[in-house]
Structure 1
Amino acid sequence: MSDSRGLRQLAGVILFSFVAGAVAVTPARAAEPLQSENVLLVTLDGLRWQELFGGCDEGLLNKESGGVRDIPALKSRFWRETAEARREALMPYFWKTIAAQGQVFGDATRNSTVRVTNGRNFSYPGYSEILCGFSDPRIDSNDKVNNPNVTMLEWLHQKPAFTRRVAAFASWDVFPWIINAERSGIHVNSGWQPIDPAVEAARAAVLGDVTGDLPRLWDGVRYDALTYQATLDYLKDHRPRLLFVSLGETDDFAHEGRYDLYLDSAFRNDRLIERLWNHLQSLPEY
């Protein structure tokens, strides 16, 4: 098997697993019913359930199938003897905090398979089904076409208690069409879109300069760290009750056949989620 063939297979498997399997996390059941007032929804594009539940895949720790540049270094960071130890090494916050205090679904090895129903193995149909709750055969590409369906973000945005209190930040630049920002009126910041002008001018200028000076590996996907910073800046002056954050680097590094960068991105995204959650907890509204 040639290197190029192995890289294409890696990208295909990761993309398919994202749209064919999903992971849901909900608060653990308490003795007394809780009334949630705010929701944070985070997605990681292209992250396989195999890595989430089993950590580093030894079969991809090579140059031929995984495009790994420094195998010893990657094994030192993420390889452990058990699946439980490997997944904690890859995503420590998810497993030590989120899973420990909540509920996790989607581990096929424990008969907890979660699947979408759209029959498509790519992003737009998958995200539309996640956000709408049903599949639509009319959505059959990743083209920038407005979603004819109402997402749960838009449905809530129509409620008086949620009007102008729903926001979405995404690394992939197709989300304004998936969410249909034009019709819904929801604040959506995605791709290489400029930072929200409502943000403090000096801060927005700095982030704008950094964004403009960085090399762009992908035309339609910005770095997840920039998506995270844009989200933090928005939270300085706004308190959305429903906040959707979609990170995308894992999918793009998978498409490039770089298992090492894919794992590193998953690790960094776990850290971004931790920092975002801690920031929200520091705000009295949350």
Structure 2
Amino acid sequence: MKKLRLPIFLLLSIANTFSQSRKTENLIVVVLDGMRWQEIFGGADSLIINNPLFTKDKNRIQKQFWDNDPSKRREMLFPFLWKTLGTNGQIYGNRNLKNEVNVSNPFQMTYPGFSEMLTGYADPAISSNRLIVSKSDNVLEFINKQKNYEGKVAVFATSDLFPYLLNRHNSKLYINSDTDTLGFNSKEFNLLNEMQKLTSKPTTERPDLLTYFAAKEYLKAYKPKVLYLALGETDAFAHQGNYDQYLETAKAEDNMIAKLWKLAQSIPQYKNKTTLILTCDHGRGDLIKEQWTAHGPKIQDSGQIWIAAIGPDTKALGEVKTPEKLFQAQLAASMAAVLGFTYLPKTHEAMKPVFSIFTK
């Protein structure tokens, strides 16, 4: 991979200039695990819909998600993404337009992807989904140490990898993942705890709906300045080869994000002072269509991802059609930069942050 570096003095200069005029005070990041760029930009895939091995109810799925026009098709699947971010924000990664976003880690899996996204580089020690404690610094811990942000960074995740990635025993982040209970005494949190105990898991992890509602109630009750929400069912249903559920889950999670954004805009702390970033941790196969269920170093296309953003400092470019190449590792510096901070991973190989592109 060609490294995109900025000299440290230049990176600091850019960040300082931006911080003087920025309006963003809060950050919400939502990650859809393994959500392919092909559906983001083209909507439902007819070749997968017409394969009975992957789509069980073809007529129902076509009625919900099919149109001959790919622009209409993608809006049927992701109405919030395309009507809101596609109008007032920015969306990167349509490779048909030579606008590329790639992972830089060679493993193209969940743990390496989230690690790259949050540490700012491809950590060679994180080479699989094995649950080992990361020894790398990460941008969420960094932000949590900054003035006025102490104790105001919260992570909600369906996957059980986040206590390892973020080193829960040493960090001061609030992390709620997989089967963690919510240690807050309110009727809303008590109800969510009861639902979690009683639910049957559609995958090996808790339902994304419970992760979402836990994050939403936490936002309402404790108003974190940074909320990181990682949802997992799009990846899980894809691995099952269940295209029906993959599409319906993607549509449901677009709706969850829409409601979360609407809630944020109804709260004075967040209204017109919050940047929202959407992305994924890895791609999936496509050149060999049957490999859409899989990803990894041996699956071509699975290093291809996408990024979207909206906020008071983000120009309304919509779908970015300029040929360029961005990397997942740029997101860590970008998350810090939209809040006015300069994050440099210990490797000192600072990736050119996306903020220099999607913020004023």
TM-score past 0.5 threshold: yes
AA in 2 matched with 1:186? L
Shift of 1:199: 4.6
Deviations 1:205-244 (A, max 9, x none): 222222122112333x211110111012212321211110
Opposite residue 124 of structure 1, the aligned amino acid is Y
Q: Check whether the contact 1:199–1:234 (CA below 8 A) recurs between aligned residues.
A: no
What amino acid maps onto 1:216 in structure 2?
K
Query: In structure 2, which of residues 36, 48, 52 is the aligned counterpart of residue 48 of structure 1?
Result: 36
1:77-107: per-residue Cα shift (whole Å, max 9, x none)?
0010111011000000100011210111111
The 8 Å contact of residues 203 and 233 in structure 2, kept in 1 or not, is answered as: no
Q: C-alpha deviations, 1:22-51, integer Å up to 9, x for none?
A: xxxxxxxxxx95321111111100100000
Distance in 1 (CA, whole Å) between partners of 2:175 and 2:61 is 36
Secondary structure of the 1:264 match is helix
Deviation of 1:62 after TM superposition, in Å, equals 3.0
The superposition leaves residues 174-224 of structure 1 with CA deviations (integer Å, 9 ceiling, x where unpaired) of 111112222221001111211x21251x222222222122112333x2111
Q: 2: distance between equivalents of 1:54 and 1:113?
A: 15
Aligned to 1:58: 46
| Equivalent residue number for residue 27 of structure 1 | none
More relative contact order in 1 or in 2 (CA 8 Å, sep 6+)? 2
Residue 227 of structure 1 corresponds to which residue in structure 2?
211
Contact 1:192-1:222 within 8 A present in 2 as well:
yes
Q: Which residue of 2 aligns with 1:192?
A: 179
| Whole-angstrom CA distance in 2 between matches of 1:246 and 1:97 | 20
Partner of 2:194: 209
What CA distance in whole angstroms lies between the structure 2 residues aligned with 1:191 and 1:53?
Answer: 30
- Which residue of structure 2 aligns with residue 70 of structure 1? 57
Match of 1:125 among 109, 112, 131: 112
Contact 1:199–1:237 (Cα < 8 Å) also in 2:
no
| Cα distance in 1, alignment partners of residues 177 and 164 from structure 2 | 11
Listed as ranges, the gaps of 5+ residues in structure 1 are 1-31
TM-score by length of 1: 0.84
Q: Which amino acid aligns with 2:24?
A: S
Give, in angstroms, the shift of residue 136 of structure 1: 1.0
Gaps of 5+ in 2: 1-19, 271-360
Question: 207-216 or 165-174, which moves further after superposition?
Answer: 207-216
The residue aligned with 1:256 is: 240
Could you tell me which amino acid in structure 2 is paired with residue 198 of structure 1? F
- Relative distance call for 1:108 and 1:65 in structure 2 (3 A) is farther
Distance in 2 separating the partners of 1:107 and 1:216: 33
CA offset at residue 63 of structure 1? 4.2
CA contact 1:165–1:242 (8 Å) conserved in 2? yes
SS in 2 for 1:113: strand
Q: Once the two structures are aligned, what percentage of the paired residues are identical?
A: 36
* Match in the other structure for 1:165: 152
Residue 150 in structure 1 maps to residue 145 in structure 2 = no
Q: Which whole-Å CA distance do the structure 1 matches of 2:21 and 2:52 have between them?
A: 52
Match of 1:39 in 2: 27
Contact 2:112/2:122 (<8 A) preserved = yes
Secondary structure, aligned partner of 2:176: strand
Helix, strand or coil for the counterpart of 2:31? Answer: strand
The answer to which structure has the higher helix fraction is 1
Select the residue among 60, 69, 79 that pairs with 1:92. Answer: 79
* Equivalence map 1:15-34=2 (5 Å): 33-34=21-22
Q: Secondary structure of the equivalent of 1:39?
A: strand
- Cα distance in 1 for partners of 2:51, 2:200 equals 25
Change (3 A) 1:125 1:73: same
Per the TM alignment, residue 114 of structure 1 is displaced from its structure 2 partner at its CA by 0.7
44-53 or 132-141, which moves further after superposition? 132-141
- What is the deviation of 1:117? 0.9
